[in-house]
Amino acid sequence: MSKKAVVLLSGGLDSTTILAIARQQGFECYAMSFCYGQRHEAELLAAEQIAKQFEVAQQLLVPIDFSGIGGSALTDHTIDVPETPAQGIPITYVPARNTLFLSYALGWAEVLGAQDIFIGVNAVDYSGYPDCRPAFISAYEKMANLATKAGVEGQHMSIHTPLIDLSKGRIIQQGVALGVNYATTVSCYQADAVGRACGLCDSCRLRRQGFIEAGIVDPTRYVTS
């Protein structure tokens, strides 16, 4: 029987690629997606479609209520998504988001008896988010092994970040080689209801640049095109 893995699947380019990688490594994949009032809900529809394409064992959609917490352009609809690059940590940063996502994944992994969690963080094109850096992932993994019953009983929990050192172009090349259809994925921070990208936000810029770097035709549907 294959080993189980929990894969954090947002429906974006990176998380879809890690699902393809986890499957290629022989894991039985359990996809976990979050509905947290993000502006780009089209991402979630994409996540469902991708979970089906990759025949995951189960997809779990977890609602997270950030409304009382606030503080980010992605979840607080009174803050505009910027359309010009900024210095430092951008306003699209959601406080403790990856910490929270990994913690839900950890709970589910424990119940499933899985010892492997995949997350599509990337430290190259990381947009300045602190919780995408290797030092954070390594500290999270140490904590996770002390947090859980499985850890206490001597099973090691691994946090896999196969994209952490790759450029966007390399990620796309790897995904295409594994059969990912990037037309299904949605990366834009303010995609419209049918999943068309603005082409202007940080996430769109990085993605567009990635296809150019990869030498692959960009299949993204842009509002402006």
Between CA 101 and CA 166 the distance in angstroms is: 22
The only residue of 2, 24, 139, 177 in contact with a copy of itself, by rule CB under 8 A: 139
Q: Which two tokens stand for residue 150?
A: 């499985």
Site membership for a copy of itself, residue 103 (CB under 8 A): yes
Report the DSSP pairing between strands 158-160 and 28-35: unpaired
- As a residue count, the chain comes to 225
Could you tell me the smallest distance in angstroms from the CB atom of residue 209 to a copy of itself? 24
60 binds a copy of itself (CB under 8 A): yes
In angstroms, what CA-CA distances link 213 with 12, 39, 54, 170?
18, 28, 26, 8
Give the largest Cα separation in the chain, rounded.
55
Determine, following the binding rule CB under 8 A, whether residue 154 of this chain makes contact with a copy of itself.
Answer: no
The residues in 79-98 that bind a copy of itself, with binding defined as CB under 8 A, are 89, 93-98
Verify binding: residue 143, a copy of itself, rule CB under 8 A.
yes
**Alpha-carbon distance 208 to 211, whole Å?**
5
Q: Which stretch binds a copy of itself (CB under 8 A): 21-29, 40-48, 128-136, 200-208?
A: 128-136
Angle formed by the axes of helices 168-177 and 13-24, nearest 10° = 50
Q: Which is nearer to a copy of itself, 104 or 222 (CB)?
A: 104
Is 100 near a copy of itself (CB under 8 A)? yes
Chain positions contacting a copy of itself, by CB under 8 A = 60-63, 65-66, 68-71, 89, 93-100, 103-104, 106-108, 110-111, 130-131, 133, 135-136, 139-140, 142-144, 146-149, 151-152
